[in-house]
Chains A and B, each alone.
Chain A
Amino acid sequence: MKTKTRPQAKKKTEKTAFKVEKIRKDFPILKEKVHGKPLVYLDNAATTQKPLAVIETLDRYYREYNANIHRGLHLLSEKATAAYEASRVTAQKFLNAADYREIIFTRGATEGINLVAQTWGRQNVKAGDEILITTMEHHSNIVPWQMLCEEKGAILKVVPINDAGELVLEEFYRLLSPKTKLVAITHVSNALGTVNPIAEIVKAAHDKGAKVLVDGAQAIPHLSLDVRALDCDFYVFSGHKIYGPTGIGVLYGKYNLLDSMPPYQGGGDMIASVTFEKTLYKKPPYKFEAGTPHIAGVIGLGAALDYVSKIGLSTIAAHEHDLLIYGTQKLLEVPGLQIIGNARFKAGVLSFTLGEIHPHDIGTIMDRQGVAVRAGHHCAQPVMDRFQVPATARASFGLYNTRKEIDFLVKAIHKVKEVLG
């Protein structure tokens, strides 16, 4: 069976191998010039550019059927509601969630994490309980748990990482105990690119009775996702990291958990009935979507997920992996350059330092050559402390990047050395 399907699969990949130049035409911004130079956009871990499919979807919504949802009896409201709810089903399928009611729209991954901390967390975490996070978390998966622990008298424990930027699994197993109420962990590190073994972590956590929240902000544009296979309890991501609009994201939660949680914010659209004596809440997901939501954002996110699905995440992952391998090799040829984060399983992120040259100076000089990279602590100060650097420069890849752009990056790095080396 295996031998039969393998050659077929290969043939299919060849057939669908995407043409990056064709993809680039979908993104109007890539034709822009910065400081008179062609834009080389390598800051995709911060935010991704938007394809025409998304831009036109937003435009069409505002031009043709802008209306509030879930309330109007008129045609435009019906259209807007249908498009909004269709996006929920798109997101459900994208994550392979069991039920559309497990998809809650948020402002982004950060709000998703805060929602879980403030509802499930406040309901379930008590004094002396433990929450387990890791050294490689983004601040958004640290601070909400610190706030909760402070309020409840719970304890925040941190799983360390090794010199390659990988989770030290033995330490995870050592720190995991019946006291652990929640494991909150990133799927892919934004600063290092490390891909964490989520399925294994979820299984171990569940064996101890702990729930697991996965921060998927960085994983979402790079990895094929199946929340049922991962068996995580919560999964959050932001739309703008997957070629969708800013200000919109998704919280996935297992239905029985969502149903048991108190509401996050009170307001319109989340209630079944209101009297001054007692208010009854709607069922999930609406219980968690108070007020008029970011309707355009939700519809735009649906368009982005459709766009990515059409190309195929495995195709995108293969392309980005090629860029990662090529970029790693080219960067390591630069004398004095050190790559921070050398995990065996890595997404398309290259964080680096250049001897004594400060990453902010790297960022500025690169920018003037048209190369957009991130320079700083990447909202992951504990990672910087772990590697004893104040900051790094970071190139991160998306589906529209090319090997030629990596050559530009390397050229720009040489220029930095020429100016400041």
Chain B
Amino acid sequence: MSDFSDLYQDLIIDHQKNPRNFGEMVGANHHADGFNPLCGDKIAVDLKVNGEGVIEDVKFKGSGCAISKASASMMTMALKGKKTGEAEKMFHEFHDMVMGKVEKPAADLGKLKVFAGVKEYPARVKCASLAWHTFEAALHDEKEVISTDDGVDP
């Protein structure tokens, strides 16, 4: 492929075409809606967190571009089974990576490192981070729709 292969990698395209953990969740105890007014992308995240603070299940739904969809799909896989503290740490690591704030992405991001190329596409950073901001909002039970245009991504 030519010079946008750093963004549209096979793994991303696979998740965009076959999103994992997509749909409604029965018995969710956390929920938030995310919106990117720039492109109209909408993502809703459902969480089931147990008494020990472990994320037992994550699901998402919504519509958006390949990057936002793949990011949401891969996020759900990464979060399942994590303690909320670990998950939040991951959110910050992911954010720093796509914002280009760190030289090298944190090692425990694993497959999520596929999104490191996003930092070269400033217009697309919000696409990659929308799902993560929505997850963060769900965890904190924020009732208002979280918007990527309200300063959450400086």
Which residues of A pack against B, CB within 8 Å?
Answer: 35, 357-361, 363-365, 368-369, 375-377, 381, 384, 390-391, 415, 419-420
Per-position 1/0 for B3-22, Cβ under 8 A of A:
11001100001001000000
Pair A368/B2 contact, Cβ less than 8 Å: yes
Q: Which residues of A contact B65 (CB under 8 A)?
A: 358-361
CA of A419 to CA of B8, assembled, Å: 8
Pair B39/A420 contact, Cβ less than 8 Å: no
Pair B63/A360 contact, Cβ less than 8 Å: no
Q: Which residues of A contact B16 (CB under 8 A)?
A: 420
B16 to A: closest C-beta gap in Å? 8
B136 beta carbon closer than 8 Å to chain A: no
B107 beta carbon closer than 8 Å to chain A: no
Pair B123/A364 contact, Cβ less than 8 Å: yes
Top 9 A-B pairs, shortest CB-CB distance:
A358-B65, A360-B65, A390-B40, A368-B4, A361-B66, A360-B39, A361-B65, A419-B8, A391-B40
Q: Which of A357, A369, A420: most chain B CB closer than 10 A?
A: A420
Q: Which residues of A contact B124 (CB under 8 A)?
A: 360, 364
In B9-41, which residues have CB < 8 Å from any A CB?
A: 13, 16, 38-41
Residue of B nearest to A375 (CB): B39
CA of A57 to CA of B50, assembled, Å: 68
Q: Which residues of B contact A35 (CB under 8 A)?
A: 3
Q: Which residues of A contact B127 (CB under 8 A)?
A: 360
In B80-97, which residues have CB < 8 Å from any A CB?
A: none
Q: Which residues of B contact A384 (CB under 8 A)?
A: 40
Given contacts A358-B64, A384-B40, A391-B39, contact A364 B121 (CB under 8 A): yes
Given contacts A368-B2, A390-B63, contact A376 B7 (CB under 8 A): no
Which residues of B pack against A, CB within 8 Å?
Answer: 1-4, 7-8, 13, 16, 38-41, 63-67, 121, 123-124, 127
Pair B3/A390 contact, Cβ less than 8 Å: no
Q: Which of A358, A377, A381: most chain B CB closer than 10 A?
A: A358
Q: Which of A357, A368, A369: most chain B CB closer than 10 A?
A: A368
CA of A376 to CA of B124, assembled, Å: 13
Residue of B nearest to A418 (CB): B1
Given contacts A360-B124, A364-B123, A420-B8, contact A376 B40 (CB under 8 A): yes
A370 to B: closest C-beta gap in Å? 11
Given contacts A360-B127, A364-B123, A419-B8, contact A376 B3 (CB under 8 A): no
Name the prevailing secondary structure of the B interface residues: loop
Pair B3/A368 contact, Cβ less than 8 Å: yes
Q: A358-B39, A381-B40 are in contact. List 7 more A-B contacts (CB 8 A).
A: A359-B65, A360-B127, A368-B2, A368-B3, A376-B38, A390-B64, A419-B13
B44 to A: closest C-beta gap in Å? 15
Residue of B nearest to A362 (CB): B65
Pair A377/B40 contact, Cβ less than 8 Å: yes
CA of A358 to CA of B43, assembled, Å: 15
B39 to A: closest C-beta gap in Å? 5
A372 to B: closest C-beta gap in Å? 12
Pair B66/A376 contact, Cβ less than 8 Å: no
Q: Which residues of B contact A419 (CB under 8 A)?
A: 1, 4, 8, 13
B69 to A: closest C-beta gap in Å? 8
Pair B40/A364 contact, Cβ less than 8 Å: no
A94 to B: closest C-beta gap in Å? 34
Q: Which residues of B contact A415 (CB under 8 A)?
A: 2
CA of A359 to CA of B123, assembled, Å: 13
Residue of A nearest to B16 (CB): A420
Residue of B nearest to A389 (CB): B40
Residue of B nearest to A36 (CB): B3
- In the assembled complex, 25 residue pairs joining A and B whose CB atoms fall closer than 8 Å, in A order, are A358-B64, A358-B65, A359-B65, A360-B39, A360-B41, A360-B67, A360-B124, A360-B127, A361-B8, A361-B65, A361-B66, A361-B67, A364-B4, A364-B123, A376-B38, A376-B40, A377-B39, A377-B40, A381-B40, A384-B40, A390-B41, A391-B39, A415-B2, A420-B8, A420-B66
B40 to A: closest C-beta gap in Å? 4
